[in-house]
């Protein structure tokens, strides 16, 4: 069974640009979570989608947004990139909101 996949694996952008990250959950999983992990730091919760709806968002500005598609894949959009947005962005999926989360390999975003 395929795990959680994310694309792209690496991305380099400049300040002010916009970026879209993609995530495909494990087949059958309806919940998708996005996390930001700055270098050397823990995971910070960004967004949670379940059944196509945004269920919760972490303490991030509105320029961080996303959506979940009918096939449960998800996108994370970040507008007006800032240097401190440089981080590993991790996507996880779970069978439902109460189940264990399985992570993708992440997208490494560098903002110059």
Applying the rule CB under 8 A, the residues between 1 and 60 that interact with another protein are 4, 33, 35, 41-43, 45, 48, 55-56, 58
Q: Render 10-46 in DSSP notation, one character per residue.
A: EEEE-TT--EEEEEEPPTT--EEEEEEE-TTS--EEE
Instruction: Using the minimum distance from each CB to another protein, give the nearer residue, 11 or 79.
Output: 11
What is the CA 84 to chain-centroid distance, rounded?
16
The count of residues interacting with another protein (CB under 8 A) is 24
50, 30 Cβ separation under 8 angstroms:
yes
Applying the rule CB under 8 A, the residues between 71 and 110 that interact with another protein are 88, 90, 92, 97-98, 100-106, 108
Task: Name the site residues for another protein (rule: CB under 8 A).
Answer: 4, 33, 35, 41-43, 45, 48, 55-56, 58, 88, 90, 92, 97-98, 100-106, 108
């Amino acid at each position: 069974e395929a795990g959680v996949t994310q694309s792209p694996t690496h991305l380099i952008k400049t300040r002010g640009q916009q970026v879209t990250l993609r995530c495909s959950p494990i087949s059958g999983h309806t919940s998708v979570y996005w996390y930001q992990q700055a270098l050397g730091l823990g995971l910070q919760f960004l967004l949670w989608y379940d059944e196509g709806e945004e269920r919760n968002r972490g303490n991030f500005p509105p320029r961080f947004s996303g959506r979940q598609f009918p096939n449960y894949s998800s996108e994370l959009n970040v507008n007006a990139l800032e240097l401190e947005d440089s981080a590993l962005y991790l996507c996880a999926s779970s069978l439902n909101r109460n189940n264990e989360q399985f992570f993708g390999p992440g997208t490494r975003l560098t903002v110059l």
